[in-house]
């Protein structure tokens, strides 16, 4: 249903990147032309909040301009951890682009994949370590490939880029999500 240790590793990677942001880096551009560092971090928080609201509708989903993004991230990921640890929440069926699935599966799949991509985006933007969790990369790549073109919609992933023949698993995953490495 869910891979709680994997989610923890993925969230910890994003947490390390967020904690590495220097005060003068919040306005830096990211590999995604639409976002600067502030907008990217707010996006990841917002996605986590919207996912949590699928099983706890009272959850706040918007990210305010005056929010402390480091604190908001800690709270958002703590909420997901709490929800996937609860069997009732983890097994609750929720809608997704690929059809209805258990909340825990959505977290283990799309939420982990999205957070992994944005961890790399953030690390690249601020000059931090870009290395992603290897097992999480393999799982996310497999799940995204299985989803097919359902992930390539506005607000989703960009068109895949053909990786170099000798590309690492991480580069192949990032290229699959439309990122140039």
| Residue 48, pLDDT above cutoff 50 | yes
Q: What percentage of the chain has pLDDT greater than the value 70?
A: 98
Q: Which residue has better confidence, 154 or 122?
A: 122
Going along 14-173, which residue ranges are E strands?
Answer: 93-94, 101-102
User: Would you state the pLDDT for residue 1?
Assistant: 46
Q: How many CB atoms lie within 10 A of CB 41?
A: 24
Q: What percentage of the chain has pLDDT greater than the value 90?
A: 83
The answer to whether the CB of 159 falls within 8 A of the CB of 101 is no
- The mean per-residue pLDDT over the stretch 156-172 comes to 94
User: Would you state the pLDDT for residue 2?
Assistant: 55
For domain 4-176, the CATH superfamily is dinb family like domain (1.20.120.450)
């Amino acid at each position: 249903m869910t891979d709680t240790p994997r989610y923890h590793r993925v969230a910890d990677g994003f947490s390390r990147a967020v904690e590495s942001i220097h005060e003068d880096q919040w306005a830096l551009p990211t590999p995604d032309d639409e976002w600067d560092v502030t907008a990217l971090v707010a996006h990841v928080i917002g996605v986590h909040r919207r996912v949590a609201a699928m099983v706890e509708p009272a959850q706040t989903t918007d990210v305010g301009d005056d929010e402390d993004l480091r604190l908001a991230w800690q709270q958002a990921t703590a909420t997901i951890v709490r929800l996937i640890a609860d069997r009732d929440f983890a097994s609750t069926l929720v809608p997704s682009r690929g059809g209805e699935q258990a909340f825990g599966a959505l977290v283990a799949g799309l939420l982990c994949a999205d957070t992994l991509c944005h961890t790399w985006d953030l690390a690249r933007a601020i000059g931090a370590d870009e290395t992603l969790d290897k097992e999480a990369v393999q799982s996310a790549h497999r799940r995204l490939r299985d989803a097919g073109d359902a992930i390539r919609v506005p607000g989703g992933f960009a068109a895949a880029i053909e990786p170099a023949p000798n590309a690492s698993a991480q580069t192949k995953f990032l290229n699959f999500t439309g990122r140039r490495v």
